[in-house]
Amino acid sequence: MADAERQAIDVRKNMARLRAAREAKEAADEALRLALPAPAPKKRSRKPAR
C-alpha cells in the first residue's frame, strides 16, 4: 500500500514538472511570436493557360 502511495506521489511530481516545462515553453513561444513581424498574406497564383 505504501508503495502505491509513493508511486502516486512520484507521478504527481512528474506531472507538475512537465506542466511547468510546457507552460514555460508556451510562454517563450508566445513571446517569440509577438517579437516577429506578422507574416505577409500570400498572393494567389494565376492558373496556367491551357
Joined grid coordinates for residue 38: 506578422
Full-model pTM: 0.62
User: According to DSSP H, which parts of the chain are helical?
Assistant: 2-35
Domain spans of the chain? 1-36
- Is residue 9 predicted with pLDDT exceeding 90? yes
Return the top range by mean pLDDT from 20-24, 29-33, 40-44, 46-50: 20-24
Q: Which amino acid is at 36?
A: L
Tell me what the mean pLDDT of segment 45-50 comes to.
76
- Is residue 36 predicted with pLDDT exceeding 90? no
